[in-house]
Amino acid sequence: MESFGITVTEHLLIHQKENPYATGQLTRLITELIFSAKIIEREVRKAGLVDILGMTGDVNIQGEKVRKLDVFANQVLIYRMQRSGVICAVSSEENADIIEVPDDLPKGSYLIIFDPLDGSTNIDVNVNIGTIFSIYRKITEGTECATEDFLRKGYEQVSAGYFLYGTSTMLVYTTGEGVHGFTLDPSVGEFLLSHPNITIRETGRTYSINESNLMYWDERIKKAVNYFKSSENLRGKPYNARYIGSLVADFHRNLFDGGIFMYPADKKDPSKPKGKLRLLCEAAPLSFVVEQAGGAATDGKQRILDIKAESLHVRTPLFIGSKKDVEMATKIMTE
Ligand code: P6P
């Protein structure tokens, strides 16, 4: 019988082994995430046609200018997550504090952290952008969530993944049972399984880093980057340089083609000594995905998933991708 495709709901409920978290509650949450992504995708696709481009004139908690599409994506996700009936609060890259589910709405024992539209500086030039999400179970007693429920180590995540608004719209996620990719079929408005059991090459062929920051790096980072630019490496020739400037797009390409993405600590902005990327809404979810795909992720010293978040918006250096490439970069930087 023709399969007519495998939906995310089917994949969660039938194709996941007896995962204690691949329950109806998690399925409900991911279903609401998918609905949010479809609404965001609709606006992203027509961004050039309506007055949803450009700036709002505001600045977010990160000190970054906020774009109208950022605000829209953030509002959609907060609204839909609060009505999922299975979470107690959300934390967004765009908001200083956690946002509780109002008392008149049903609550649950999950919490979600997201970057609603990562790479948003690329929106106006039609470059791929994405939504990154990270899901934990609450640990404090009672139905109310507390900030400490969010200050976790990445290995405690129940699920994580991202939506990529690119040439096609994809969902790539894990619940700890491997990494699976789903592609949106616009003709039926459904994400269908397109890339089951994604694995990343042990040694890649691409390195991704913003080399305009060279003068702000310390010598160990320069040595690690030169390793990939030389022929004295596991490839025996220089790696290809690819850098889109949109984390989800750079990560996704390296996941499929093999490679390493690096955003090291730098001296460029004294307010961001650990670099630009956030631990909870960027590094930890993508590190859960890459490890489930057979890759690795460190902050240049230790495993990202072992780092406990000391605050909601704490930043971290990030070296993520093919296992042997990340191991080598980390070895060079800790010698
Ligand atoms: P830079 C986008 O603003 C973002 O947060 C990530 O998506 C991306 O990897 C990074 O910043 C790019 O930063 O400093 O290289 O422009």
Q: Which atom of ligand 1 is nearest to the CA of 212?
A: 15
The pLDDT tens digits along the chain (335 residues) read: 666 899 998 888 876 655 665 568 888 999 999 999 999 999 888 766 655 555 666 766 666 666 688 899 999 999 999 999 999 999 999 999 999 999 999 999 999 999 999 987 787 788 899 999 999 999 998 888 999 999 999 999 999 999 999 889 999 999 999 999 999 999 999 999 999 999 999 999 999 999 999 999 999 999 999 999 999 999 999 999 999 999 999 999 999 999 999 999 999 998 899 999 999 999 999 999 999 999 999 999 999 999 999 999 999 999 999 999 999 999 999 98
* CA–CA gap between residue 176 and residue 139 (Å, rounded): 19
Residue 277 CB partners (closer than 8 Å, separation 6+): 247, 263, 283, 315, 316, 317, 318
User: 209 C-alpha vs ligand 1 centroid, how far in Å?
Assistant: 10
**Residue extents of the structural domains in the chain:** 8-195, 206-334
Cβ neighbors of 17 (< 8 A, separation 6 or more) are 177
E-strand stretches of 101-145: 110-118, 129-137
CATH class of this structure's domain 206-334: alpha beta
Model-level pTM greater than 0.75? yes
The residue whose CA is least distant from atom 1 of ligand 1 is 245
Residue with the smallest CA separation from ligand 1 atom 5 is 119
| 62 alpha carbon – ligand 1 mean position (Å) | 12
Nearest-angstrom CA–CA distance, 76 and 278: 21
- Burial track 162-191 (b if 16+ CB lie within 10 A, e otherwise): bbbbbeebbbbbbbbbbbbbbbbeeeeebb
In three-state secondary structure terms, 124 is helix
Question: DSSP states of 169-184 as a string?
Answer: EEEEEESSS-EEEEEE
Tokens of 137: 């179970």
* Domain 8-195: assigned CATH number: 3.30.540.10
